[in-house]
Every structure is written in structure tokens, then in C-alpha cells.
Structure 1
Amino acid sequence: MTRTAAVATLPTPVQDPELSSFLLRLRKKNTDVTSHKDTVDSYTNYWDSDRKNIKDTEDSVAERRSNSDKLTNHFYDLVTDFYEYGWGTSFHFARMFRDQSFKQSVAQHEDFLALKLGLKPGMECIDVGCGVGGPLREIAKFSGAFVTGLNNNSYQVDRCRHLANELGLSSLCKAVKGDFQNMPFPSNSLDAAYAIEATCHAARLENVYGEIFRVLKPGAQFACYEWLTTDKYDDKDPVQKRIIHDVEEGNSIAKLYSIPECLAALRSVGFEVIEYNDFADPNSPLADAQEPWYLPLQGKFTFNMEQLHRWRMTPLGRWMTDKMVFSLETLRLAPPGTRKVSSLLNLAADALVKSGEQHLFTPMFFFLVRKPATASAAPAAAGYSRIDAVGH
């Protein structure tokens, strides 16, 4: 069974990148209720069979891989406004040191990549899967390098451009619409690349890693925080499989790779692995100095300004948001399907907390890799080809 043709012709919901209010954006979408509802139904239909039979998901995974670009595009049409409302403009987790605010932790997480890549004025870097550009703008300010954000979602690209203009950063960064598995950049043209919790949306990690390898100059480096399963995850355990499947469904991921599979994918396209580390590992040397990465979603009910600042992320905040959008949809002030989107994100949040508590999954497997300086040092590099077959 396939839904490719139906997805390909699906209209994009009406959205305005210049609107700053979550409620105003819902109101805008409500001017075109049919396309919004169709997009919601299209996305949720992709996961129906897995909900009925979690033991055998291979056919569903194969279909999602073949349509990963469209699937993720529809996902971000639906969730971008919710993400900004609840999380901010940097759509990622971070190491949360006990003496830092959430905002400081997020900025430090981004600046760490700039330091590892040695970014400086005069360098040209690509943000692979840039979202609405929170990390892009932070890294451009921190390093002075010119950063180009690549994103296949039109709404997020427009939102990224608007925010850069609004903050006076257009001279240091830009956003380009394009598929990160088929990048619109010349080979050997960029000084550095990074990705923050974005390449997991690729049909295959080899596809996006191969394209990053192609566009980097010889000797250039790529740094990333990747979403991966850990060695604690047992695919044969139905409870664990359901948790990870809910992470995938709630975040538009066809299939999560494991840590060994990720490293193998990097090497298969020609990269030299310089260093790697799971920053979410509860046994890491700095673990005692940090709060768990999933704490904002889990909630910590203490009365201080930091906790109040991120109340929307907590179970109570998400419950209140869900009830708000239910009421708005019932009163026809929000488009049909808005409640489904809220429920989808709550599913994702609950699964992320469960996966984090058991360390079945990491959203911040950090690695730094390099494209060899000479072609002879990378025998696999020129031989990379896009992978579309089933299975890792």
C-alpha cells in the first residue's frame, strides 16, 4: 500500500512568517481549514498500521523512508508554531548545567559546535536542517562566520529569514530552501558544516552525510548532535519498542539509527571520525553537574523564576495548551486537526521522557568528523551513492 501520490499533491496550510503570536498564527491557519486538516490526516495516517501491530513495522518503515522528505515537510508545517510557543526558536535539547538557565544552556550547546569547528570571520558554514534559525543566528553572532541555513520547509525558511532581518543579522546569515539529501551547493565549496538534531529526519543517514561530505572543502569538518538509540535499547522488547516508536512518530523520524550504525554511516561516505561522545549518558564525567536533558519535559515543580520561565514545556503546561487548542478548535477559532497536533506533541514529549529515564535514546550524540585533505585518503568518498533500500 502506498500514499505517495496523495502526499505529493497535498496543499500547504496558509501561514504567515511575520506573525509573532501563537494565537494569531492559529487564526491565520483557520482561514484555510481544509488544507490544514488534510495535512494532519496525511501525517497521522502514516503511523496507523504500526499502532495496530508494533511487532512488525518493516513495511511501514520502508514507506516512511521513501516519503521522508514530504512526511517531515508536513510535520513541520503542523508543529513549528507549537515549537516556538513552547520551546523558543532553537528546536533542540541541551546539556543543562545546574548553574545555568535553560536559555543559557541552549546557547552554550550551540556555541560548543562553533568552537569545535573553529568558526571565525571569513568562513562559510552550513546549518543542515536549520529550523527557524535559532542556532544559526547564535552561531553567527558568536563566531562571526557566515552561516547558511538549509531547510526543505518553506514556512520555516520564510520564518528564518524574517527573524534574521528583524534582529539585524542578515549580513551574517541566510536561509536557503532545499533538500539536505540533494543539496543546492557546489562540491568542495564550504568551510564547515553542523547539524543539530535535524539529520535524523533523512531517509538514510548515509544520504545526508554523503551530501555534507560532497559540499565540504577537503580538510573541512562537520559537527553534529544526532538522535540515536543507545546500547540500552532492545528492539525485541515490546515496551521499549513502543517507547522508541512513539519518539519516531512524535518527531517525524522514519527509523532511528543506533550509535554504531551512525558511526558506520559516517565512515562509509568517507569521513574521518575525530571524536564522539554521548552527552546524554548518565554516567558521563559531567553528569553530576547537570540536570537530565529531558527535565524541561518531565517538569520540576519548584517555585523559582527559571521553572516559571519554562512552564509551557512541563506536563502541566502541555496539558493547559492542549485544553486551550481543544477549546479554540471546538469554537472554530483554530483549524480542524489542531488538537491532533497537540496530542502528537504530547505523545512525543512523554516518550522522550521515558526513553531518557531509561537511556534508551540520546538526542545529543556529539561527533566531529573531517573530510580528508586528499582524495587518496578517502577511498569511499567518491563512491557514495544515495541509499533507498529497506534496512540499515
Structure 2
Amino acid sequence: MRVVFLTFLQASRECSFFSVSRHPVMSKSGALDLASGVGGKIDKKEVESAVKQYEKYHVCYGGDEETRKANYSDMVNRYYDLATSFYEFGWGESFHFAPRWKGESLKESIKRHEHFLAIQLGLKRGMKVLDVGCGIGGPLREIARYSLTSITGLNNNEYQISRGKELNQLAGLSETCNFVKVDFMKMPFTDNTFDATYAIEATCHAPDALGCYKEIYRVLKPGQCFAAYEWCMTAHFDPKNESHQKTKAEIELGNGLPDIRTTNQCLEALKLAGFEVIWEKDLALDSPVPWYLPLDTSHFSITSFRLTAFGRFITRNMVKILEFVGLAPAGSERVSSFLERAAEGLVEGGRKEIFTPMYFFLARKPLS
């Protein structure tokens, strides 16, 4: 079986699902890249047990919100060790959604979404900027090139940081962009360090929004701004509705979240942290193309094929084969499975309008 599969793999290298990245600045794009990355810094023999431990934190497997909040650092680290190679395989270097115009590709909308943040923050050459929860640094690199700023990416996952440093070097940005491994609830920076801060679908991992926003407030210079895209439950979410709760739980399971806050809770936490809110809005409301369309099973796209139902079906079975022949660690298919549930939960949340991944706000730290 192994010999037959390897022969098939060799013959299929030009197919986008099986090819290995050849261009040095591109994201890892092939099946072997995906297989080698599953588990991140976790020993490959321990991947399956890490998956089981991660699942235990969530409601779907008997876990509870308080346990997730108490162990958020371990939970989020396990999640990104397990899921990052899948994200990079499907999304590229920027792991986030975006409002999208008709006729616009997903990749184009993601870049525009990142540029929008830079414009709102008024980023200019020479400014010192903090990216809170930077992933492997896709947005960081795009915003740095667009605004000519120096950006520090903050991340608590060693695997993502090592991957980000590799991509920074290949993109020629190692001198102006760097990474710091740290919990964003306990930043190692002195007060009033940064000219601007932003977070893209990242501070939703914080167990306490107020505590997280207070840290961001502390390291930001007076008079300067913080902008973010937050994952939130909307005003349409009914905590007494079992269907709504099930959708929320599936999103939390598949995305390493301790608890998804409402837009009002985020707004209140910002104000309590000391910020002046300049403006805020759920940008999903004005998106001509639904933000969840790339994951919708009824949608087919060539430009974002790997995210479609058929693309995910191929990925799931490809991972199953790679695990069977020993090219992917045991537990890889299980990771693919809970990410699949997350996609289903996100689409349901979007259709019901009870969840948004792009609640935007721009807030200023007062001068005094």
C-alpha cells in the first residue's frame, strides 16, 4: 500500500493538492508540507494524545467554559500546534476573513481588509507598531510593506513564531519586523511603547477581554490608537436557544476559543480599560458577498478551492491516507475533523447572523 501510494504521490506532484512549495516566499502548499507540519512543535508521537487533551476542554466533549479560561494558554498553544499547517494549506499566510465585493477574490479582499486597518490607524513610515496575536505574520508583512512601518508580532506559540521568522527572512523584512513569544495577557513591554496597536481575529483567544485590553492600553502611547477585528456573538444570539448554543460551541471547539463574547461585552471592556471609542461596527453587515461563503458547502470557487466543501472533502481523505501510510502523524485526521466541524459552525453562525468574525473598532488612548 505504501509503495503504491508513494508512486501515486510522485506522479501527482503538479496537482495543487500534492505539490510541495517551490517558491521560497510562498506558503506551504502541498500535501507533504501539510503532513510534516501537523503537530507543530509537539513530538509527532504525541500528536494524537494532544488532540484528545485539546478536545477535553470543550463542551462537545464534556468540557466547560471555566476550565477553558483557566487553561487558555495551554489550550490555545495546543490548538495552533495542531491546526497551523491546515490553516496555511487552506488560507495561505493570513488566517482571517474579510468583507468582500462582488467579483473580488478572497485573496484580494483579505489584503484590502489588512490595508483598511493601516489606514484607520494612520500608519506612517517610522512608526513602531504592535500586532497582538500575529499568527505566522501574514498580515504583519502585508501591513509593514504597505505602511513602511516597523511591526512587532506578539504570539505565544513557538511553532508559529519559527514559521513567521522564516517567512520574514524570505520576504526581506527581518530588519523591520520581529516576533516576541509571550502571553498577551502579560506583555513584557514598558508603558507607552507603541505608536499603534492592532489585532486581527486574535484577542478572542483571551480568557478576559478587559484584562487583555488593559495590557494593550498600557503599552500604547497616549493619544495613539488601537484597532481590531473581533470574533463576537451578535445581538441576534439567544443564549437560551439550544441551536444557537450548539453553533457557538462548535466554533469554540474548532478555533481554540475559551468563550465567544458579544459585541456589547467587547465594547464595554474597551471603555472600562480606559479607551475612547472613535467608531465601531460589524463590517459583516455591509459585505456584498457573505464572509462565510468560502466555507459554504453550496459554494464552489477555483480561487479558494481548498476551502470549499469539495476541497475540504479531498483534504480530509488525503490526510486520512497520509496518516494511514505514516507520512502524517497519528491524530492528523482527528484534527481535520474538528476543523471541519468549525467550518460548519461558522457557516451556521453566519447564516443565522448570530456570529461575526469582523466586529471592528477603532479606539484611542487619551492624552491624559
TM over 0.5: yes
Partner amino acid, structure 1, of 2:187: M
State the AA in 2 paired with 1:325.
V
Note if 1:83 corresponds to 2:87: yes
Q: Which amino acid aligns with 2:35?
A: L
Give the 3 Å change call, closer, same or farther, for CA 156–33 of structure 1 in structure 2. Answer: closer
Letter in 1 for 2:340: N
Provide Cα deviations, 1:331-382, integer angstroms capped at 9, x if missing partner: 22211110010001100000000100111000000000011100xxxxxxxx
Q: Residue 132 of structure 1 aligns with which residue?
A: 136
Tell me, in whole angstroms, the C-alpha distance in 2 between the residues paired with 1:125 and 1:341.
Answer: 34
Partner of 1:38: 49
Between the aligned partners of 2:37 and 2:73, the Cα distance in structure 1 is 25
Letter of the aligned partner of 1:233 in structure 2? F
1:340 is matched by which residue type in structure 2? R
Secondary structure, in 3 states, of the residue corresponding to 2:255?
A: coil
Note the 1:31-180 alignment, pairs <5 A.
32-47=43-58, 50-51=59-60, 60-180=64-184
Separation in structure 2 between the aligned mates of residue 369 and residue 63 of structure 1, nearest angstrom: 31
> Which residue of 258, 263, 267 maps to 2:267?
263
Report deviation, 1:52.
6.4
Q: Deviations over 1:228-278 (max 9, x none)?
A: 000111010101110011011110111111111111100111111110010
CA distance in 2, matches of 1:51, 1:299: 22
Distance 2:31 2:181 in 1: 24
Indicate which of 308, 312, 335 corresponds to 2:302.
Answer: 308
8 Å Cα contact 1:190/1:215 also seen in 2: yes
Letter in 1 for 2:55: T
Is the CA contact 1:22–1:82 (under 8 Å) kept in the aligned structure 2? no
Partner of 1:388: none
Shift of 1:29: 5.7
- Structure 2: distance between partners of 1:234 and 1:34: 42
SS of equivalent residue, structure 1 residue 182: coil
2:341 aligned to which of 337, 343, 347: 347
What does residue 254 of structure 1 align with? 258
- Work out the CA distance in 1 between the residues paired with 2:37 and 2:344: 29
Give 1:387's aligned residue.
Answer: none
Candidates 235, 242, 247, aligned match of 1:238 = 242
Q: 1:206 and 2:200 equivalent?
A: no
8 A contact 2:201–2:231 mirrored in 1: yes
Report the residue type matching 1:238 in the other structure: E
Letter in 1 for 2:51: V
- Report the 3-state secondary structure (helix = DSSP H, G, I; strand = E; otherwise coil) of the residue aligned with 1:274: strand
- The number of residue pairs the alignment matches comes to 341
TM-score by length of 1: 0.84
Give the match for residue 293 of structure 1: 291
Aligned counterparts of 1:231 and 1:273: Cα–Cα separation in 2: 19
Aligned partner of 1:364 among 347, 358, 368? 358
Q: Secondary structure at the match of 1:104?
A: helix
1:23 paired residue number:
32
User: For structure 2, which runs of at least 5 residues remain unmatched after alignment?
Assistant: 1-23
C-alpha contact 2:38 2:83 (8 A) present in aligned 1: no
What does residue 15 of structure 2 align with?
A: none
The structure-2 alpha-carbon separation of the partners of 1:363 and 1:204, relative to structure 1 and needing over 3 Å to count, comes to same
CA distance in 1, matches of 2:248, 2:260: 8
Deviation (angstroms), 1:225: 0.3
CA distance in 2, matches of 1:189, 1:96: 34
2:229 equivalent in structure 1 = 225
Name the CA shift for 1:124/1:275 in 2 (closer, same or farther; >3 Å).
Answer: same
Give the letter for the 1:292 counterpart: P
When structure 1 is superposed on structure 2, of 169-178 and 272-281 the one drifting more is 169-178
Given residue 32 of structure 2, which amino acid in structure 1 is its aligned partner?
L
Deviation of 1:69 after TM superposition, in Å, equals 1.1
Q: CA 1:29–1:192 in 2, change beyond 3 Å: closer, same or farther?
A: closer
Q: Is the 8 A contact 2:55 2:61 kept in 1?
A: no
SS of structure 1 residue aligned to 2:302: helix
Separation in 1, partners of 2:269, 2:180: 26
Does the 8 A contact of 1:22 with 1:81 survive in 2? no
Q: Could you list the runs of 5+ residues in structure 1 that have no partner in the other structure?
A: 1-16, 375-392
Runs of 4+, deviation exceeding 3 Å: 17-22, 27-33, 299-302
Q: What is the aligned partner in structure 2 of residue 187 from structure 1?
A: 191
CA contact (8 A) 1:299 1:313 kept: no
2:14 — aligned with what?
none
Partner SS state of residue 97, structure 1: coil
